[in-house]
């Protein structure tokens, strides 16, 4: 595996173009692609494509490879499990790995109360199960989600998601009893705590609400970090009304923001925590972790699924927990924030095009705006991302308006590679 950025062909190169032609005949166009180069190897913050180009990875497969791609610990753990058994179905004949992952989640999610965890296959499936559990335990039906929120692509998760294009358009009707409240956005001065709460109280009686489903930092919606006190104030209001707090930590969890879970920054102890993405170190795994009395309320057989907590994914996950602890990747995420955020903040100007720089840990972003300093400029975000791609840096966009450039480097990336990728981003931003 090469050790630095290297572009040896056009991007995409000839071999990737051949594969793209095959793909067009085999895969629906509805499955999008950020950077149409086909990968042959990845490790240590680099992705090598089939033409020999090597990209600095500032996306981590959308916050999945926090411990690195093909991390040696994960590879070894999966290789050890593989010849023993690949599947039994935990509901048919259980195995230790599943229990061990649940023990780790129960110990590390916020709060010292008794907890239980359920393992599933994805973030969307975890969100769906959290709502099932909340409804069952409270005997209430309404669910409150938030503007700009993203919770997945299955029916209920899509119903909770805020953005129409590309996630919801044409896919209705959506699940009923979902209400969407304003999310705190300090850059745009919207969604103050009082407004959020009064909006909820106006739209639905609190005693009908089973849960709020909230991202501690709004991910796909643009890495919006709510105003200090917003999340904790919301949680306090929920506690006063018997409304459960479901923290969607699918993107923010597993060390990404410099804490195991981002709720900890606001000292919020959710009733249910939803995880996925980096939980499995690249293998599909999601989870719901919650108060024991809520999780145990559901009747036997009411939760589960054929593949949930697959033994290979559990082996990988245990290696992820170990790697985050032994390599102090929480400290590493905080270091990445200290290294990157001040440089992004230097780009901010009241008249744009960089209107805001924000984030926590290794979850950082810049928001691009037009000359008035507020109007979203998605065309600029696209231009910056494409410029980075041509120069060998994988960059993701985000935001309800598509005008946010987000950085999600693997926590194990070296300072040298990160500095190199950031330099490319800075010159792309300066060129617009």
Which residues of this protein are in contact with ligand PLP, per CB under 6 A?
Answer: 62, 122-124, 127, 150-152, 215, 219-220, 248, 250-251, 276
Q: How far is CA 383 from CA 32, 199, 372, in A?
A: 17, 37, 19
Is residue 42 within a helix (H) or strand (E), and if so which, with residue range? Answer: strand 39-43
Residue with tokens 């006063």: 240
Please, which residues have CB within 8 angstroms of residue 46's CB and are 6 or more apart in sequence? 1, 2, 3, 4, 5, 54, 55, 56, 57, 417
Q: Which is nearer to ligand PLP, 193 or 279 (CB)?
A: 279
Nearest approach, Cβ of residue 246 and ligand PLP (Å): 11
Q: Which two tokens stand for residue 426?
A: 């800075």
Residue with tokens 């409304």: 243
Question: Is the CB of 145 or the CB of 424 nearer to ligand PLP?
Answer: 145
Q: Rounded to whole angstroms, how far apart are CA atoms 202 and 297?
A: 30
Nearer to ligand PLP, 147 or 220 (CB): 220
Instruction: Provide the minimum distance between the beta carbon of 354 and ligand PLP in the complex, in angstroms, as a whole number.
Output: 24
Task: Say what the alpha-carbon torsion angle 264, 270, 275, 279 is, to the nearest 10 degrees.
Answer: 40
> Which helix (H) or strand (E) is 389 found in, with range?
helix 378-390
Nearer residue to ligand PLP within complex by CB, 123 or 182: 123
Closer of 150 and 401 to ligand PLP (Cβ)? 150
What's the min distance (Å) between Cβ of 154 and ligand PLP? 7
Cα 2 to Cα 5, 246, 299, 322, 417, distances in angstroms: 8, 42, 53, 26, 12
**Shortest distance, position 96 Cβ to ligand PLP, whole Å:** 25
Query: Min. distance of Cβ 215 from ligand PLP in angstroms?
Result: 5
Residue nearest to ligand PLP (CB): 123
Q: Which is nearer to ligand PLP, 212 or 422 (CB)?
A: 212
User: Minimum distance between the CB of residue 224 and ligand PLP, rounded to whole angstroms?
Assistant: 12
Closest distance to ligand PLP from the beta carbon of 151 (Å): 5
Output 182 or 222, the one with its CB closest to ligand PLP. Answer: 222
Residue 422, token pair as written in the block: 């950031």
SS3 state at 38: coil
Smallest gap from Cβ 153 to ligand PLP, in A, equals 6
Rounded alpha-carbon distances, angstroms, from residue 133 to 175, 248, 266, 273, 397: 16, 14, 24, 12, 33
**Shortest reach from residue 81's CB to ligand PLP, in Å:** 22
Q: Which one, 11 or 35, has the nearer CB to ligand PLP?
A: 35
State the Cα–Cα distance between residues 287 and 294, nearest whole angstrom.
Answer: 15
Sign, CA dihedral 28-33-39-41, equals negative
Instruction: Answer yes or no: are the C-beta atoms of 260 and 331 closer than 8 Å.
Output: no
Match 């290979």 to its residue by tokens: 312
Nearer to ligand PLP, 247 or 369 (CB): 247
What distance in Å separates the CA atoms of residue 411 and residue 408, rounded to the nearest whole number?
8
360: its two tokens: 């926590």
């Amino acid at each position: 595996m090469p050790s630095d950025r290297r572009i040896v062909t056009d991007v995409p190169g000839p071999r990737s173009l051949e594969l793209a032609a095959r793909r067009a005949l085999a895969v629906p166009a509805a499955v999008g692609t950020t950077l149409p180069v086909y990968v042959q190897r990845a490790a240590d913050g680099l992705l090598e494509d089939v033409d020999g180009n090597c990209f600095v990875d500032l996306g981590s497969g959308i916050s999945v490879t926090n411990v690195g791609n093909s991390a040696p610990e994960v590879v070894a753990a999966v290789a050890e499990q593989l010849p023993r058994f690949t599947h039994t179905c935990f509901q048919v004949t259980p195995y230790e790995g599943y229990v061990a992952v649940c023990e780790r989640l129960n110990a590390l999610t916020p709060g010292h109360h008794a907890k239980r965890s359920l393992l599933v296959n994805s973030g969307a499936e975890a969100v769906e199960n959290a709502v099932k559990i909340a409804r069952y335990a409270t005997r209430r039906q309404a669910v409150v989600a938030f503007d700009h929120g993203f919770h997945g692509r299955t029916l209920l998760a899509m119903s909770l998601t805020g953005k129409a294009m590309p996630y919801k358009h044409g896919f209705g009707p959506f699940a009923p009893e979902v209400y969407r409240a304003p999310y705190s956005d300090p850059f745009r001065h919207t969604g103050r705590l009082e407004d959020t709460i009064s909006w909820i109280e106006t739209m639905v009686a609190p005693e009908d609400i089973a849960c709020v489903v909230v991202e501690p930092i709004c991910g796909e919606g643009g890495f919006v970090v709510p105003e200090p006190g917003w999340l904790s104030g919301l949680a306090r209001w929920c506690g006063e009304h018997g409304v459960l707090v479901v923290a969607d930590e699918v993107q923010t969890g597993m060390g990404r923001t410099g804490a195991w879970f981002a709720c900890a920054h606001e000292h919020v102890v959710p009733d249910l925590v939803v995880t996925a993405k980096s939980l499995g170190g690249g293998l599909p795994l999601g989870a719901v972790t919650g108060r024991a009395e809520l999780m145990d309320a559901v009747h036997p057989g009411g939760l589960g699924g054929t593949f949930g907590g697959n033994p290979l994914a559990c082996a990988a996950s245990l290696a992820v927990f170990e790697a985050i602890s032994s390599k102090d990747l929480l400290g590493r995420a905080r270091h990445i924030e200290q290294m990157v955020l001040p440089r992004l903040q230097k780009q901010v100007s009241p008249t744009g095009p960089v209107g805001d720089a924000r984030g926590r840990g290794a979850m950082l972003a810049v928001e691009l705006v037009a000359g008035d300093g507020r109007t979203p400029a998605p065309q600029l975000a696209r231009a910056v991302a494409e410029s980075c791609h041509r120069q060998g840096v994988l960059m993701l966009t985000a935001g309800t308006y598509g005008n946010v450039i987000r950085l999600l480097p693997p926590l194990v990336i070296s300072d040298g590679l990160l500095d190199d990728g950031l330099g490319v981003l800075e010159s792309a931003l300066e060129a617009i």
